[in-house]
Homo-oligomer: A and B are copies of this chain.
Amino acid sequence: MSAIPPRLARRGFLAGALGWGGGALAGEAPLQVPVWTREQGAPVATPGYGQPSPFERLARKPRTPPPFPGAASSGTPLQHLHGIVTPNGLHFERHHAGVPGIDPDQHRLVVHGLVERPLILTMNDIVRLPALSRLHFLECSGNTPAWQRANPNWTVQDTHGLLSCAEWTGVPLATLLDEVGLRPGAAWILAEGADGAAMSRSIPLAAALDGAILAYAQNGERLRPEQGYPLRLFLPGLEGNLSIKWLRRLKVGDQPFQTREETSKYTDLMPDGTARQFSLVMEAKSVITSPSAGHHLREPGFYEIAGLAWSGRGRITAVDVSADGGATWRPAVLQEPVLPRCLVRFRLPWEWDGGPALLQSRATDETGYRQPPRNSLVEARGVNSLYHYNGIYGWQVAAGGSVRHVA
């Protein structure tokens, strides 16, 4: 599937899109030769690990203030990124006691509990095992803090930036569990991190056998420290907090372990005062990243609406886009490859007439589930939750071309 709808592949539209400094070429006059073409450039970088251009200033944005030191997060600048891969230097962070500086030679993974052969593994043991690589999104369940009214000054980095996507490489957890041998009654697995918070969560056995990876690499290289170096659990499609970083222990049990992070935290307070617990799957969701808050449309004419869609339940099958606040919807083009439990880039051509426009997107996944409008989401779950907000999100383009969020 081409990302360029046929209706765009015609003469003339570009002329309308241009005019910000470029334009028609005056005859065949000699072209100006810039200074950097008249001199020798810089040699290959030493040490040989490259960095972005000094003209680029992309950075993760810490959410302040953190509730206490080390309990911080920083979001990916989705409004400035392209495609589906997040460069490792911009993958979002969420820590509960800061980033430990782990020596991989001293790191151990213990597997015990309801298993026939408890094991201690070194990193050398783990990287020697059969591996696999998968492109998957990772999203914090606290992404999009919009149960209460969202701050109209927030950018998509503020509202959706606890979302990234990478190629994760490691050992299938199923391989290790098969090796240690599950004992009767095995139903849940405690995963514990080696950070100062000893972050711990209970993983349903079914989820542990559904594509879970003992990950030691992201986008080709070893994990970054803030992503769990040297080893993290990666659970495709589930809330990010379950993908325990700096993984040091897996204990198999017959019931959930009821850790602090799954009782007082990471539960969803419902209108009747009860709390949803173990609501682990990240449901289908999408957001327009361009244009979005902070962007400015300089003049009427052609623009490409682009964004990201994802579902913890499998593949995205459709994304619809509205430019009139939901009165009418058009299907966007989904950028191939469309992979399960992975970000999908969607695109739609748009002619801006210069007047007010409310841009929204809604995703549908292969289970038939469609991303809900805010009102039906709030009707079902109230406004007291902190997690799992996946409602349709809107950007208001004002007559002058400025863009900001409206609820």
List B contacts of A95 (CB < 8 A).
41, 44
Q: What is the 8 Å Cβ interface bit string for chain A, positions 16-46, against chain B (1 contact, 0 not)?
A: 0110111111001001101011111111111
Report which of B18, B83, B181, B349 forms a contact with A133, defined as CB distance below 8 A.
B83
List B contacts of A104 (CB < 8 A).
53, 55
Q: What is the 8 Å Cβ interface bit string for chain A, positions 88-131, against chain B (1 contact, 0 not)?
A: 11110101011111111011101110000111111011001111
A60 within 8 A of B: yes
User: When chains A and B are docked, how far (Å) is the Cα of A169 from the Cα of B32?
Assistant: 27
In this complex, which of A9, A130, A345 has the most chain B Cβ atoms within 10 angstroms of its Cβ? A130
List B contacts of A42 (CB < 8 A).
98-101, 225
Please state if B219 and A87 are interface contacts (CB–CB under 8 Å): yes
A196 within 8 A of B: yes
List B contacts of A4 (CB < 8 A).
130, 132, 172, 175
Report which of B21, B45, B169 forms a contact with A83, defined as CB distance below 8 A.
B169
A2 within 8 A of B: yes
Please state if A335 and B133 are interface contacts (CB–CB under 8 Å): yes
User: When chains A and B are docked, how far (Å) is the Cα of A181 from the Cα of B10?
Assistant: 10
- Given the contacts A4-B130, A122-B20, A128-B303, A83 and B220 also touching, CB distance less than 8 Å: yes
Q: What is the 8 Å Cβ interface bit string for chain A, positions 289-333, against chain B (1 contact, 0 not)?
A: 000000000000011101000000000000000000000000000
Please state if A108 and B44 are interface contacts (CB–CB under 8 Å): no
Q: Which of A336-353 contact B (CB under 8 A)?
A: 337, 339, 345, 347, 349
Please state if B130 and A222 are interface contacts (CB–CB under 8 Å): no
A241 within 8 A of B: no
Interface size of A by CB at 8 A reads 137
List B contacts of A62 (CB < 8 A).
44, 46, 48
Please state if A167 and B133 are interface contacts (CB–CB under 8 Å): no
- Given the contacts A60-B44, A99-B42, A119-B24, A224 and B132 also touching, CB distance less than 8 Å: no
Please state if B82 and A131 are interface contacts (CB–CB under 8 Å): yes
Please state if B128 and A302 are interface contacts (CB–CB under 8 Å): yes
- Given the contacts A98-B43, A120-B23, A194-B36, A50 and B181 also touching, CB distance less than 8 Å: no
What are 15 A-B contacts with C-beta separation under 8 Å? A2-B172, A3-B130, A24-B119, A25-B111, A25-B120, A31-B248, A31-B249, A36-B194, A45-B74, A45-B93, A50-B226, A52-B88, A130-B304, A131-B347, A133-B335
Q: Please list the residues of chain A having a beta carbon within 8 angstroms of any beta carbon in chain B.
A: 2-4, 8-15, 17-18, 20-25, 28, 31-32, 34, 36-56, 58-62, 69-70, 72-74, 80-91, 93, 95, 97-104, 106-108, 110-112, 117-122, 124-125, 128-133, 135, 166-169, 172, 174-176, 178-179, 181, 194-196, 198, 216-217, 219-226, 229-230, 246, 248-249, 302-304, 306, 335, 337, 339, 345, 347, 349
